[in-house]
Amino acid sequence: MQEGDGVPDMMHGWNRAIGLIEQDLTTDIEVRFLAKAALTSEYHFRRMFSSLAGMPVSEYIRRRRLTAATAEILEGLTVLDVSVRYGYGSAEAFARAFKAMHGLSPSEARLPGAVLHSQPQLRFHLRVEGNTDMKHRIEDKEAFRLIGLKARVPLVYEGPNNAIIEFQRGVDPSVTKRLLELADMDPAGPVSVTDNLEEQRTEGSELDYWHAVASTQAAPEGFESLEVPAGLWVVFEAEGKLPEVLQGMWADAATEWFPANPYRWAPGPEMLSVQVGPGGTHGRGQLWIPVEREEAG
């Protein structure tokens, strides 16, 4: 993708990927084929899809297939026939998935007045307003080390992540003070780090969450470390009301910056540095996301 002239082509590629899903909802499709249609890497496709759609691509496909299967149930096909057609291992497995989505059994769904849910087909559109002034820079950063404490926590797409909240509450202030003595490079510490997400990225799947600092020093006893190779990073900066200003950085990165720039999300840890102002209601944040240049053509 060439800088400045590839955004419409990118949107077309993402809609082409959605079209591949719709071609045959009775058959699951590998995400690598969707990423190829979108002209990007599988890693970038998964991350961007989750950010743009508010759900992992696997969940979207599951919901679209169940929506199509529901229509066939309402048309009178048997649960067994529909479960076989959509690749469920048994009629019972299909009935469980059906009830998880609708809150009703297939037989209850056929009753007059039954309220059902559906997943509409997604459409990606080019946003041309340009009403957000995104403060960012590209950093070509040398290799460094993250030093700190980590916990394996569930992935939460909406609302507070209670596992992270409890983890942060359990960090002794003396630990943070010791970490800050080790911080000798950007981003300024302490930083919240997410890494090692499970590939499917479904709600409740797990990731590593770090309370850490960026350092060139060795990790002292009692701390864990993560070696981060040299590479490119996009660094977003924002200041305002907390936590809205931080949530806005993630949203703007996915919906505005990535579609308009010749970079894609790259594997690696994502880092958030926050400086809280007096009163704790306002602050300044830096979001570091590893990137790689899109290949031209």
pLDDT less than 70: residues of the chain: 1-10, 125-134, 158-159, 199-201, 296-297
> What is the fold, at CATH topology level, of the domain defined by 7-109?
Arc Repressor Mutant, subunit A (1.10.10)
Tokens coding 247: 């949530």
DSSP state of 273: E
Would you state the pLDDT for residue 158?
67
| pLDDT for the residue 296 | 53
Contact between 217 and 185 (Cβ < 8 Å): no
Cβ partners under 8 Å of residue 2, min gap 6: 262, 296
State residue 2's pLDDT score.
39
- Residue written as tokens 């994502």? 270
pTM of the predicted protein model: 0.72
In 3D space, the residue among 111, 114, 116, 84 whose CA is nearest the CA of residue 98 turns out to be 116
**What pLDDT was estimated at residue 256?**
77
What residue spans of the chain are helical by DSSP H?
7-23, 31-37, 42-53, 57-74, 79-85, 91-102, 106-109, 162-169, 173-182, 244-252, 258-260
Contact 192, 272 (CB under 8 A): yes
**Local structure of 196: helix, strand or coil:** coil
By the 8 A CB rule, do 57 and 43 touch? no
Question: 135-293 domain in CATH 3.40.50.360?
Answer: no
Give the integer Cα–Cα distance in Å for 99 and 104. Answer: 5
Range list for CATH 1.10.10.60 in the chain: 7-109
Closest by CA to 292, choosing from 264, 270, 254, is 264
In the chain, list all ranges with CATH 3.20.80.10: 135-293
185-to-89, 97, 146, 254, 290 alpha-carbon distances in Å: 53, 49, 10, 26, 16
CB 269 within 8 A of CB 146: yes
Query: In whole angstroms, what is the distance from residue 103 CA to residue 97 CA?
Result: 10
Tokens 């070509």: give the residue: 140
The rounded distance, in Å, linking the Cα atoms of 170 and 143 is 30
DSSP letters, 104-138, are: S-HHHHTSTT------PPP------------EEEE
Looking at residue 3, what is its pLDDT? 39
